[in-house]
Homo-oligomer: A and B are copies of this chain.
């Protein structure tokens, strides 16, 4: 049997695994990343504005997420020297392209998850 034949387990992973989804969730599966992206849907925002918009998110993690999302080219960091210095984060085209999927997840959650009462 030639070496190119995959084992049963490899075949299973091929059938059930989804490399693209796996890659997507190396980013989205990190706590708060999806919500940071979702928050930018409303337009560019500064650090403090994002911090206020997302309850429970710590500054150090926000900083980390913005760096990682920028590195993944989903977010662009724009600096205006001022004074005072002004930094805004905005979605790139790659980031914008994810918004319909996040909308779909939102709509799904309304329909299929138990939202807690206000």
Contacts and interface: CB of A to CB of B under 8 A. Distances in A.
User: How many copies of the chain does the oligomer comprise?
Assistant: 2
A21 to B, nearest CB: 5
B113 A17 contact: no
Interface in A88-110: 94, 97-98, 100-102, 104-110
A89 B22 CA distance: 20
Contacts of A67: none
A101 B98 contact: no
A42 interface: yes
Interface of A: 9, 12-13, 15-25, 27-35, 38-39, 42, 45, 49-50, 52-55, 72, 74, 94, 97-98, 100-102, 104-113, 115-116
